């Protein structure tokens, strides 16, 4: 079986949440994640500009910065990178705000488990790959 290596930017200021997400991602046997971690909006933007990421997992509530601002800033640099927004403040308004700002998926931390996370990751990566294939075909 071929293992897909994915460069991930994980923006989360809670070390326990960072570790939990990392453990869940490690159970996905079809992917291996090379993860850069940021704990603030500014750190996330610095890493994003310097790196070449294929996936972003972004917390809504950051101690230093704002998840929506961070999402919008990332979108200024790359409109196509898949972004999964997560939040412990699960409301329809926050979900709509994040999706409108450019998130490809929204996950509520209260309902988050390894199955939901892995399905979201697979979905956004599959959509991104399909889009890139269609775009490449149009260019040729």
CB 45 within 8 A of CB 73: yes
Give me the DSSP letters along 20-55.
Answer: HHHHHHHT-TTEEEEEEEESBHHHHHHHHHHS--SE
What CATH number is given to the structural domain containing 58?
3.40.50.2300
CB 72 within 8 A of CB 101: yes
pTM for this prediction: 0.92
- Structural domain tally of the chain? 1
pLDDT category of residue 68 using cuts at 50, 70 and 90: very high
Give the pLDDT confidence score for residue 125 in this predicted structure: 95
- 16 to 20, 51, 124: CA distances (angstroms): 6, 24, 24
Q: Give the residue numbers spanning the domain of 68.
A: 4-139
């Amino acid at each position: 079986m071929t293992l897909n290596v994915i460069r991930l930017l994980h923006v989360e200021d809670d070390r326990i949440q960072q570790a939990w997400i990392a453990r869940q991602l490690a159970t996905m046997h079809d992917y291996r994640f090379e993860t850069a971690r940021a704990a603030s909006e500014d750190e996330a933007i610095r890493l994003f500009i310097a790196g070449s990421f294929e996936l972003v997992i972004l917390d809504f509530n950051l101690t230093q910065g704002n998840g929506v601002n961070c999402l919008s800033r990332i979108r200024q640099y790359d409109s196509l990178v898949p972004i999964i927004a997560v939040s412990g403040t699960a409301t329809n308004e926050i979900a709509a705000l994040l999706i409108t700002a450019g998130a490809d998926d929204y996950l509520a931390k209260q309902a988050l488990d390894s199955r939901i996370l892995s399905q979201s990751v697979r979905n956004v990566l599959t959509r991104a790959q399909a889009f890139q294939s269609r775009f490449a075909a149009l260019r040729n």
